[in-house]
Amino acid sequence: MMTTVTECQRCGTCCESGGPALHQEDLELVQSGKLPLNDLYTIRKGEMARDNVKGTLQPVTAEMIKIKGTGSAWTCCYYEAESKGCGIYTDRPIECRVLNCRDTAAIEAIYDQGRLTRKNLLESIPELWDLVEEHERMCNYGDLAELAAGLKEGTDRSADSLLKMVSYDSHLRALITEKGRPDPALLDFLFGRPLADTLPGFGLKVTHNGSKLLVTLAKP
């Protein structure tokens, strides 16, 4: 007789596929320090990212705060590979609580609902929230997508504007790293991933011409 598996088999596949996105139900976990900001990163609205539920690469329609991966891998930083367990199991986010890899209906129902945002966490800290808002104004992904389209159509000004955007993002991160304020470990949470790292999703790349930086089209 065939046995239907209903309980988690602790294979680790979901944890190795990336950390969960956070929702309003997870607010207390962050505010209490059980999920430190240093362990989080932001995928900003308009950024190209893989949708784990739909299995496609597409622009993110709303900001997502996620738990970081380990090193350059996607594996959730709280995953304990040796035991195939979770380092914060009793305080795991809601996506982890509802996920059932044999029946994804529950995770699909909440996946894009009530997501936690940087504003929820930082609006009461003006010195940080002002930084985030200014970066968002200068490095908006909606503007970047329009400039990428212009570059593909041969508009020279688009390349210059894209370079200014990427340079602003890079210099801001370097300045914070140099001064140590705010904590450089917060950079990917405050500002999302560096623009230079996300340009390939828009068919672009950063190149060097001697000491000069250029934003150019990536080869197909």
Give me the helix-helix angle, 126-138 and 156-179, nearest 10°. 160
Q: In whole angstroms, give the CA distance from residue 148 to residue 151.
A: 5
Rg of the chain in Å (alpha carbons): 19
Q: In whole angstroms, give the CA distance from residue 102 to residue 112.
A: 20
pLDDT recorded at residue 104: 84
- Predicted confidence pLDDT, tens digits, the chain (220 residues): 444 555 677 787 889 888 999 999 999 999 999 999 999 999 999 999 877 666 677 899 999 999 999 877 789 999 998 898 999 999 999 999 998 878 888 888 898 899 999 999 999 999 999 999 999 999 999 999 999 999 999 877 899 999 999 999 999 999 999 999 999 999 999 999 999 999 999 999 998 877 777 888 887 6
pTM exceeds 0.75 for this model: yes
pLDDT recorded at residue 6: 56
pLDDT recorded at residue 220: 66
pLDDT recorded at residue 134: 97
- Cβ contact 189:41 at 8 Å: yes
